[in-house]
Structures are given as C-alpha cells and as structure tokens.
Structure 1
Amino acid sequence: MKAYRLLTEEDTSAFCHKVTLALSKGWELHGSPAYAFDAETGKMRCAQAVTKDVDGVVYDPDMKLGQL
C-alpha cells in the first residue's frame, strides 16, 4: 500500500521539524512544498506532501497514517 499525508504548519521551524521527522520514519517527499497566506490568522503556512510504501497493510480509513 502507498500511504499519503499532507503535512501543514505555520511557517516556523516546527514545520521543518515535522517534515524531518516524517523523513526519518521512511516517508518520502512527494512534489514541491506549498506556501500560502492564511488570512484568518494573518500568518504564512507551509505544506508538503509525503508518501510511504507500506508492505502488509490494508488501507482502513480509521488508520493513523502518522504511525505507519
């Protein structure tokens, strides 16, 4: 199974740490990062898609993708 996640966070070092943690757990970058202004909070937000091939797992909509 190929798992997909979209990591998002305000434009702080926390976003880089979130992506780095996912990479350290075997997730791979998928596409380019996105950067946009959140008018509701007045802050910039970042997003990065990541994917991971997971053997022996059957998709379930209740699964916690971050724990794969």
Structure 2
Amino acid sequence: MAKRTTLYRYLTGPDDASFCHRVSEALSRGWSLYGQPTLTFDASQGRVICGQAIIKDVDEPYSPELKLSEQ
C-alpha cells in the first residue's frame, strides 16, 4: 500500500483572468485551496501580483522528482 502524501504548491501571477484560470484548473484537478490568497504590488511592473497556496493528497510517497504541475 502506497503512503498517502500531501503535496503543496504556491501559485503566483498577475491579478488577471489567466491567474484565476490557473487556480480554477488546479481545483478541477483535485487540488484544494490552502489559506487565504495574497496580493502584493510590483512597482517596477506597475501591477498587482496574486498568490494562492493549494494542496492535494496523493497515494504515493513524496519525491523531489514529482512534477507538481502534472499532479
């Protein structure tokens, strides 16, 4: 029996529809929101940057070789 592991990712990007689509895609693949979203202002680019932590439980042991974006 494989060990159950919780994976963690932190998504970041400009505060626009593409960021929302990335988070929505992750949710549709079984990831769950973890904590509150974050916002910061990138003065050099003149835009707001969003961040959202997500987690997912998988039935395999953790390995640094795991490609989190493919889970």
Residue 62 of structure 1: CA displacement?
Answer: 2.2
The CA RMSD over aligned residues, in Å, is: 0.9
Tell me, in whole angstroms, the C-alpha distance in 1 between the residues paired with 2:39 and 2:49.
6
Residue 43 (1) aligns with residue 47 (2):
yes
Deviation at 1:52, TM superposition (A): 0.3
Matched ranges for 1:1-68 at <5 A: 1-55=5-59, 57-68=60-71
Q: Find the aligned partners of 1:17 and 1:49 in 2 and give their Cα distance.
A: 15
Q: CA deviation at 1:40?
A: 2.8
Using the size of structure 1 for normalisation, the TM-score is: 0.92
Q: Equivalents in 1 of 2:12, 2:65: separation in Å? A: 20
Give the TM-score normalised by the residue count of structure 2: 0.88
Q: Among the aligned pairs, what percent are the same residue?
A: 48
Q: Which of 1 and 2 has greater Rg?
A: 2
Q: Structure 2: which 5+ residue stretches go unaligned?
A: none
Looking at structure 1, the residues matched to 41 and 65 of structure 2 have their Cα atoms a distance apart, in angstroms, of: 30
Number of equivalences: 67
